[in-house]
Structure 1
């Protein structure tokens, strides 16, 4: 499939890396020649230097023959103009635009056809929604949702005090006392597909498939103390903080935002009248202590600098903050992140990439494409949701009879209203939803791709 990526910032670079690995025919547009040369050296792609909203530049990039345009420039207005121009030159092209400004939210959806948009993505808003969900269950490092919230894959860290430390997976049911399946383990920076005899040890990060209605039971039986979040401190007053504060104050949660820029503080005060806005340096130990960081229920570090977010998060954990969430723009160095205790790590870039990759795969495979795609285990595995239809092979056969590709695991089957954590005697039929986890070394486009 021929795809044009307009804009090679953090988001554009992440998409280029992921889509190039899947074998798509990519053309990258950017006004920075050095950035283009770097991408051209790393990947087998075409590059075009220039303004991505310019008709001449889009024609040079082959917009008339392209199947999809992904507009990821730094300015919303440029992305919208880029999509409108591309659609004017090629009426059949699909377009995806990143639009981040809250002022445009209602306008974009009301005028979607006029802007010629197939899909709109907002990484900051996605990140805020993810953080809000994590705040509802403070014991989990990450939550990925399927089937409109009925099934989840949650991430937990095993430490020396954990009830699961030095426990084999076969013995886990007697401890958690609810239906779960460990679909992946991250140990020493490497993702492992564990068997029943796999013994968990301190430092492991485990990915557990469970029904949403048993998550509270899972945490309780693991002895993870959770309490309702009443006060949250946000470091950094960017768009993620705005979206998150807006969502939290509607839930009756007390929110403090620490932001250094005085003008931004005035803007936030006008947009969030129920939120406490504090002007100051969130890296200042004195300021954090004077604002009661040790007494808050959760701390989310969301400045524009990853290094600063990491330092503040480490300090918050040392102060005994029950839940710490760290926003990171660059998460390529997963070995380093695995060795640091940063609480939950949220990447707007990764969340947005997952959404776009899911759309691209659906375009390639109009029937049978994944309904949902999530990246887990620091990007080393994918969790996907498929609908079994009349084209799906092996319906009605038990899992123990099937030959699945190496590294593929069926983690859940939804039969109407009944959900099942599968065993060897489980099977799926037409109309069932099947949940699959696989390593990133192979791409699964449809359910039939899991079979040998």
Structure 2
């Protein structure tokens, strides 16, 4: 597809990198010529220096023939204006990054009036990911497929679990029938495991299954499945606000630290059921006074990555049972963070870019593939794709054990008219089923691509 990206900040660069890698024709618009030059040289895309809200700049970028325009500058108003101009000049799909909570109340009106295809709020998206993790404290990551009916859940294998030091084929049937263990990450290596693969303590494994079966699987393993009872959040920015509001709505006790006194006053009015503390959340004495050693979870949401990481390490050392979530902006910290025991890490710019990329894949699916959803896993070394199976496909009505699958491919889940199935070798795929495939291959566009020629 022909795509125009306005704004080359963190999100814009991540988007450009991902969409270019997936074969789209990308033109980027950015006012800072040095930043633009870096992006053009790094990702082999077209670049135009200028204001994305300029009609002439949009024309130079090819708006009249573009399929999609994505505005991710730092200004909400500029992003919305870019979308308005793009819609009038090219009648293409438009996506805007909008961060101001004031607009959230009116977002449906704005979308309808401006004809936006999608609005993404980075802080709200990051809070949503943290919220899912606090509802499912045993997990390090939770994503949904099949419109929420199926879940991808990551967690760490510990020595005391029934599945530790067992080959997959020897895992007890009461566990095996619940979910499919589809990816294993060990010592910086990633595996799509077969029945002979032996799970070890410290492995991070990815499972697929229905929400109900995933809960049953965790319960049978003896892992916590109930939401955390309480949380301490450090950082009262928009992400902290959105997260606190959601947690309060489901009965979780929230204590929130914020250094800025005027922001504390504002948060006290917006979140009357939360305990808002005007203080430095990095102050150990204050944390101890507010019960950090016994709290159910801790979320570090300051604007400093180093501060968040150090805070999480400290809390882990004094309250090892707490569910810990750490916000990190710089993805290049990934290798270092991976070696630290600081629970779940959320990357706001990646979350934002991933949501937009999923929308783009949905658009592409209607054109030249049947991909419904796609997630990149394990530092983009693994893909989880949801395909819609169409009539005439050679995978239909053939037992999975008889399919000649390419190496590095696993069928993780089948959605048959809303019923989520964890497949066995005897399972068959039917017309109009959606099928989740986990693979180390890239570029799969059709369910038929999983088969050897």
After TM superposition, the structure 1 = structure 2 runs for residues 143-158 of structure 1, keeping only pairs within 5 Å, are 143-158=142-157
Q: Partner residue of 1:118?
A: 117
Aligned position for 2:340: 340
- Tell me the distance in 1 between the aligned counterparts of 2:356 and 2:226: 35
C-alpha distance in structure 1 between counterparts of 2:206 and 2:177, whole Å: 15
Question: Greater CA deviation, 38-47 or 121-130?
Answer: 121-130
Which residue does the alignment assign to 2:398? 397
Residue 26 of structure 1: aligned partner:
26
1:83 is aligned to 2:103: no
Conserved 8 A contact 2:142-2:152: yes
How far does residue 115 in structure 1 lie from its aligned partner after superposition? 1.6
When residues 445 and 121 of structure 1 are mapped into structure 2, their CA distance, relative to the original with a 3 A threshold, is farther
Residue by residue, what CA displacement relative to the aligned partner does 1:159-217 show, whole Å, maximum 9, x if unpaired? 34443332211122357365221100111122211111111222211001122112333
Alignment of 1:208-223 (within 5 A): 208-223=207-222
Is there any run of 5+ residues in structure 1 with no aligned partner, and where?
Answer: none
Matched, 1:17 2:21: no
Any conservation in 2 of the 1:8–1:36 contact (CA below 8 Å)?
yes
Partner SS, residue 296 of structure 1? coil
Deviation for aligned residue 1:376? 2.3
User: 1:285 & 1:378 partners in 2: Cα distance?
Assistant: 33
Deviations 1:74-102 (A, max 9, x none): 111111001001112112x1111111211
**Offset at residue 157 of structure 1 (A):** 0.8
Query: Aligned residue for 2:206?
Result: 207
Separation of aligned partners in 1, 2:392 and 2:47? 39
Structure 1 position 149, deviation (Å)? 2.7
Alignment match, 1:388 = 389
The alpha carbon displacement at 1:63 in A equals 1.5
Task: Tell me the CA shift for residue 430 of structure 1.
Answer: 0.7
| Alignment correspondent of 1:58 | 58
Name the structure 1 match of 2:434.
433
For residues 58 and 210 of structure 1, the distance between their equivalents in structure 2, rounded to whole angstroms, comes to 45
Distance 1:35 1:417 in 2: 46
Kept after mapping to 2: 8 A contact 1:177/1:221: no
Q: CA deviation at 1:392?
A: 3.2
CA distance in 1, matches of 2:443, 2:301: 32
Q: Which residue of 1 aligns with 2:373?
A: 372
Length-normalised TM-score, structure 2: 0.94
Query: How far does residue 145 in structure 1 lie from its aligned partner after superposition?
Result: 1.2
Moved more, 60-69 or 3-12: 60-69
Deviation at residue 417 of structure 1 after TM alignment: 4.7
Secondary structure, aligned partner of 1:394: coil
Counterparts in 2 of 1:364 and 1:177: CA distance versus 1, 3 Å: closer
Which residue in the other structure is 1:357 paired with? 357
Q: Structure 1 residues 115 and 387, CA, compared in 2 at 3 Å: closer, same or farther? A: same
Judging changes above 3 Å, is the alpha-carbon distance between structure 1 residues 249 and 418 closer, same or farther for their aligned structure 2 residues? closer
Alignment of 1:165-180 (within 5 A): 165-174=164-173, 176=175, 178-180=177-179
Q: Secondary structure at the match of 1:114?
A: helix
Relative distance call for 1:31 and 1:372 in structure 2 (3 A) is: same
Whole-angstrom distance in 1 between the partners of 2:442 and 2:317: 40
Q: Which residue does the alignment assign to 1:294?
A: 293
- Give distance in 2, aligned partners of 1:173 and 1:102: 48
Q: CA RMSD in A?
A: 2.0
2:423 equivalent in structure 1: 422
Matched, 1:163 2:162: yes
CA distance in 1, matches of 2:292, 2:402: 55
Aligned partner of 2:183 in structure 1 is 184
- The number of equivalent residue pairs is 450
Give the equivalent residue in structure 2 for 1:276: 275
Query: SS of the counterpart of 2:366?
Result: coil
Matched residue, 1:234: 233
- Alignment partner of 1:315: what SS? helix
- The separation in 2 between residues aligned to 1:47 and 1:258, in whole angstroms, is 42
* CA distance 1:88–1:417, change in 2 (3 Å): closer
Mapped to 1, the partners of 2:263 and 2:52 lie a distance apart of 29
Query: 76-85 vs 135-144, which deviates more?
Result: 135-144
